[in-house]
Amino acid sequence: MRVACGKIILERSRENEEMYLKAVWLLEEEGFKPIHAGEVAKLLNISIPSTTEMLHKLGKKGFLQYSGRAGILLKPRGRKRAEKIVRNLRLAEVWLEQVLQIKDQDVACRFEHIFTEPVVRALRRTLKNPLQCPHGKKIPAI
């Protein structure tokens, strides 16, 4: 039982990290340069102290470089993970809207963390390899 509980905590921690990486990627996509903790905090609706704490943790794990005034830069490892999450989100949006006829960003956000690579390949095939999400944003190829 402890292992299962530990796995749940680990998965939630991973999802939390992914939300921050995705936020940085999305802000970058929107043209924010440099990206500051306050912008990430606003996007995620989280306090600035909590945001800076997580940015430091992600920096120590090698996902990004964070310096208060200089801002946030995704490192290759963080960029790859962020692009994967954005890809999953946007594929989920297309699938939900085109196949299931559901327009719900919150539901799509839940799927972004659980899609495996075989599921992503199947979605791309089934959806005829969409290049954009329903909002007109590019779906990363990875």
Write out pLDDT tens, residues 17-48: 999 999 999 999 999 999 999 999 999 999 99
Closest residue by Cα to residue 83 from 26, 135, 27, 140: 140
Say if residue 10's pLDDT is above 60.
no
pLDDT at residue 7, as a whole number = 52
pLDDT above 80 for 5: no
pLDDT at 2: 40
Q: What are 104's two structure tokens?
A: 């719900």
Residue 103 and residue 97 in contact, taking contact as beta carbons nearer than 8 Å: yes
Task: Specify the 3-state DSSP secondary structure of 138.
Answer: strand
For 109-141, what is each residue's pLDDT tens digit? 889 999 999 999 999 999 999 999 999 999 998
Q: Which domains does the chain have, with CATH numbers?
A: 2-74 (1.10.10.10), 82-126 (1.10.60)
Residue 69 pLDDT class (50, 70, 90 cuts):
confident
Q: What is the mean pLDDT of residues 59-63?
A: 97
Question: What 8-state DSSP symbol labels residue 9?
Answer: H
For the CA atoms of 24, 5, 112, 97, the dihedral, rounded to the nearest 10 degrees, stands at -140
- pTM confidence score: 0.89
Q: Cα-atom radius of gyration of the chain, to the nearest Å?
A: 16
Over residues 41-57, the mean pLDDT reads 96
Q: Quick one: pLDDT band at residue 3, thresholds 50, 70, 90?
A: very low
Of the candidates 71, 31, 78, the one whose C-alpha atom is nearest the C-alpha of residue 51 is 71
Q: Could you tell me which of 103, 112, 108 has the C-alpha nearest to residue 22?
A: 112
The predicted model gives 65-86 an average pLDDT of: 95
Helix ranges restricted to H, the chain = 2-29, 37-44, 48-60, 76-98, 105-111, 117-126
pLDDT of residue 135: 93
Which pLDDT value is given to residue 83? 96
